[in-house]
């Protein structure tokens, strides 16, 4: 009987690749996509081509900083409709194979497959995707979801130092320690820079150190659920199931970046209320009541904070959601100009 494998298929530099595909003259140039495409206005990088990344440009970076790092870069506005169209072709291509496809986003999906030769399947998927979309993709092969997801990073054309970058890579229990042991903890899917910093403060700098940590000490320091879960990530433990069930968002959010910093509190309140009502409309359209409201504030120059509260009960009422958002806003220290505001409504996952 053939073995069960999890493949993680990820389109390379997706947004930038779509733009280059319809503007071939940009091939080989540093391309940055984000906001209105005007680096003199506020906005953040959605995607940078590999050529732009060589200048240190990354997703989420302010466009103005990207322009300083690479003045000769080509800046383009985002075009979500075009990206969705290509994404639909990408997912339809994956579904032609005898596999289970779980959509993770515009440009990535898990694929569950029973095969004796996952590398051949990965090659066939890559060729089919290139044929239908004109784009290249990388495929991570794993014996669970975590390892498949991480394997993709080693398969990328711009793979980490020491990685093969050969468009597909297999990461399993057998080679986990050899590949991951000496890498920093934030190389793990699910551990970000902030958590890695806290782990380092506890003397845990590498995946191997985290894997060998005492679960009780981790629980005491990071909480009874999260602490031990970090160790399980370091051991490479994860689910193996791939589900074809439609993706159901856990929240709806709206945010806005202002071209000029807001300093007037009444204007900040007005903007948060407007965002909250847009989110309430999204919640009502979704048909699931919200159970928690969060507000994000980015202060000048680039410090972001988020606070949230649980609602008294599930609701889709715009007045209640707006009131909750304004209540959360009171939790911030309003001592600096504001450059971005966001409101998020979260759902009960049960």
Q: State the virtual CA torsion across 179, 182, 187, 190 in degrees, nearest 10.
A: 100
**Are 178-234 and 251-346 in the same CATH fold?**
no
Q: Note the CATH architecture for domain 178-234.
A: Orthogonal Bundle (1.10)
Length of the chain, in residues: 350
Identify the CA nearest to 96 among candidates 80, 84, 113, 79.
Answer: 113
Q: So what's the pLDDT on residue 158?
A: 65
| Start-to-end C-alpha separation, the chain | 36
Alpha carbon distance 71, 281 (integer Å): 40
Domain borders along the chain are 3-10+83-175, 15-80, 178-234, 251-346
**CATH number corresponding to 251-346:** 3.30.1490.100
Q: So what's the pLDDT on residue 164?
A: 61
Whether 236 and 313 have beta carbons less than 8 Å apart is answered as: no
Whether 280 and 321 have beta carbons less than 8 Å apart is answered as: yes
Give me the DSSP letters along 60-81.
Answer: T-BHHHHHHH-TTPEEE---HH
108 carries an active-site annotation: yes
CATH topology for 3-10+83-175 is Alpha-Beta Plaits (3.30.70)
CATH class for the domain made up of 15-80: alpha beta
Q: So what's the pLDDT on residue 105?
A: 87
Sheet holding 108-115, edge to edge: 100-103, 108-115, 3-11, 137-142, 168-171
Q: So what's the pLDDT on residue 259?
A: 84
Q: So what's the pLDDT on residue 1?
A: 53
Q: Give the active site residue among 19, 108, 320, 346.
A: 108
What 3-state DSSP class applies to 199?
helix
pLDDT along the chain (350 residues), means of 10: 87 94 94 92 89 93 94 94 95 96 93 96 97 96 97 83 73 97 95 92 96 95 92 95 82 90 93 96 91 94 90 93 95 91 85
Alpha carbon distance 219, 174 (integer Å): 28
């Amino acid at each position: 009987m053939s073995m069960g494998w999890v493949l993680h298929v990820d389109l390379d530099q997706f947004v930038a690749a779509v733009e280059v595909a319809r503007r071939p003259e940009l091939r080989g140039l540093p391309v940055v996509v984000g906001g209105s495409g005007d680096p003199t206005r506020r906005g953040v990088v959605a995607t940078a081509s590999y050529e732009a990344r060589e200048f240190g440009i990354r997703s989420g970076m302010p466009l103005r900083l990207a322009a300083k790092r690479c003045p000769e870069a080509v800046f383009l506005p985002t075009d979500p409709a075009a990206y969705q169209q290509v994404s639909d072709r990408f997912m339809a291509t994956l579904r032609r194979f005898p596999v289970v496809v779980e959509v993770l986003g515009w440009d990535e999906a898990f694929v569950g497959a029973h095969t004796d030769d996952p590398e051949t399947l990965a090659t066939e998927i890559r060729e089919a995707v290139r044929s239908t979309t004109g784009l290249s993709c990388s495929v991570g092969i794993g014996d669970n979801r975590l390892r498949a997801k991480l394997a993709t990073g080693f398969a990328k054309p711009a793979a980490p130092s020491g990685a093969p970058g050969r468009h597909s890579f297999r990461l399993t229990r057998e080679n986990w320690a050899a590949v991951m042991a000496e890498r920093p903890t934030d190389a793990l899917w699910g551990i970000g820079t902030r958590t890695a910093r806290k782990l380092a403060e506890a003397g845990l700098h590498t995946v191997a150190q985290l894997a060998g940590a005492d679960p009780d000490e981790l629980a005491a320091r990071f909480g009874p659920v999260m602490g031990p879960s970090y160790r399980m990530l370091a051991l490479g433990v994860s689910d193996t199931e791939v589900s074809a069930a439609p993706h159901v968002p856990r929240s709806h959010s709206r945010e806005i970046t202002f071209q000029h910093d807001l300093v007037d509190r009444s204007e900040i309140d007005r903007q948060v209320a407007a965002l909250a009502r847009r989110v309430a409309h999204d919640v009502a359209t979704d048909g699931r009541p919200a159970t928690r409201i969060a507000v994000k504030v980015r202060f000048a120059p680039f410090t972001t904070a988020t606070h949230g509260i649980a609602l008294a009960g599930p609701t889709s009422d715009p007045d209640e959601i707006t009131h909750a958002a304004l209540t959360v806003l009171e939790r911030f220290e309003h001592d600096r100009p504001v450059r971005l505001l966001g409101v998020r409504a979260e759902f009960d996952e049960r």
